[in-house]
């Protein structure tokens, strides 16, 4: 597919990160054609259009997975901003993006250095505990674990752009050993009003580093390599748990290792002061060219 450029988002080492197919000028693309691209590559794909209102946005992004259109895809947004800058379509280091989930601000940090990374904005998150014991048992059963494998913290629903379900596990070893019952994942997540289970473990509390996996509700593949909107939702969940505070400088989230695609992303709260309620957050990571 000549229009498609592959980039790799969030790689923490060679061979890691999330492959992201992008069409940098999708003018004339209809939904079926975009869906066909996603089915061909079997990854979240991004498509760039002119904004509906150039006064408030520089670009309009649409996102597709093999089964449907997504309202938002964080890593695909990051990769697309990076690519548009490389192509010269985006001048400068900031971009205003229109998505189906709402406006997104993109920023290129440490531009033109070896440390360059892209981050995008997310709205302030909300968190709600899942108190129903039967629902908790269903989650444990689908993940194939016992209550003893959980930290003594509640299971939550948390959202910035899309609802996720953070599940606090006792250790990274428990996280890595998960073998979910994928045939039941979609119905469970639908009942939770969630777009994915997001089990996590604390890998280094003093460094604010966490390991995660994401099992999406119905994207056409069983597990995600890296999930920025889930990491953002988790950050607000971690505050609710009392594990981090809104004054925390940066949270590091590692994902994809169980899939052989080690990835790393960062989340920081958008706060006016160390004790203020954040306006939202930013998540981001490094991007590089990919290969088929």
Domains and CATH numbers, the chain: 4-121 (3.10.310.10), 126-283 (3.10.310.10)
Q: What is the pLDDT of residue 274?
A: 61
- Confidence bin at 275 (pLDDT 50/70/90): low
- Confidence bin at 273 (pLDDT 50/70/90): low
Q: What is the pLDDT of residue 235?
A: 97
Tens digit of each residue's pLDDT (9 = 90 or more) over 180-196: 999 999 999 999 999 99
- Confidence bin at 172 (pLDDT 50/70/90): very high
With a CB cutoff of 8 Å and minimum separation 6, the contacts of 49 are 26, 27, 59, 60, 61, 62
Tens digit of each residue's pLDDT (9 = 90 or more) over 22-69: 999 999 999 999 999 999 998 899 999 999 999 999 999 999 999 899
Among the listed residues 156, 146, 150, the one whose alpha carbon sits nearest the alpha carbon of residue 170: 150
Residue-by-residue DSSP string for 202-227: EEETTTTEEEE-BEESSSSSS-BS--
pTM over 0.85: yes
Q: DSSP assignment, residue 278?
A: P
Among the listed residues 81, 94, 247, 99, the one whose alpha carbon sits nearest the alpha carbon of residue 160: 99
Mean pLDDT of the chain: 93
Q: What is the pLDDT of residue 292?
A: 60
Task: State how far the Cα of 247 lies from the Cα of 277, in Å rounded to an integer.
Answer: 9
Task: State how far the Cα of 133 lies from the Cα of 194, in Å rounded to an integer.
Answer: 17
Residue 22: its H or E element: strand 18-23
């Amino acid at each position: 597919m000549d229009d498609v450029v592959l980039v790799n988002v969030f790689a923490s080492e060679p061979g890691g990160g999330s492959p992201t197919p992008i069409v940098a000028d999708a003018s004339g693309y209809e939904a079926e054609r975009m869906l066909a691209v996603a089915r061909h590559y079997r990854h979240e794909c991004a498509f760039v259009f002119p904004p509906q209102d150039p006064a408030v946005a520089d670009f309009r992004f649409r996102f597709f997975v093999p089964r449907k259109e997504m309202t938002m895809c964080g890593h695909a947004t990051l990769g697309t901003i990076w690519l548009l800058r490389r192509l010269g379509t985006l001048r400068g280091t900031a971009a205003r993006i229109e998505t189906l989930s709402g406006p997104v601000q993109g920023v290129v940090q440490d531009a033109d250095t070896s440390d360059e990374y892209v981050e995008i904005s997310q709205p302030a998150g909300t968190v709600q505990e899942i108190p129903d014991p039967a629902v908790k048992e269903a989650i444990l059963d689908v993940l194939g674990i016992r209550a003893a494998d959980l930290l003594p913290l509640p299971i939550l629903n948390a959202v910035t752009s899309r609802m996720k379900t953070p599940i606090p596990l006792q250790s990274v070893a428990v996280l890595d050993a998960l073998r979910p019952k994928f045939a039941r994942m979609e119905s469970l997540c639908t009942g939770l009003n969630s777009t994915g289970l997001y089990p996590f473990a604390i890998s280094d509390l003093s460094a604010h580093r966490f390991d995660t996996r994401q099992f999406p509700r119905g994207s056409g593949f069983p597990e995600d390599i890296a999930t920025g909107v889930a990491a953002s939702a988790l950050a607000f969940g971690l505050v609710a748990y009392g594990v981090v505070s809104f004054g925390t400088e940066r949270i590091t989230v590692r994902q994809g290792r169980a899939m052989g695609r080690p990835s790393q992303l960062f989340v920081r709260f958008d706060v006016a002061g160390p004790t203020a309620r954040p306006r939202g957050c930013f998540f981001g990571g490094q991007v590089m060219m990919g290969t088929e």
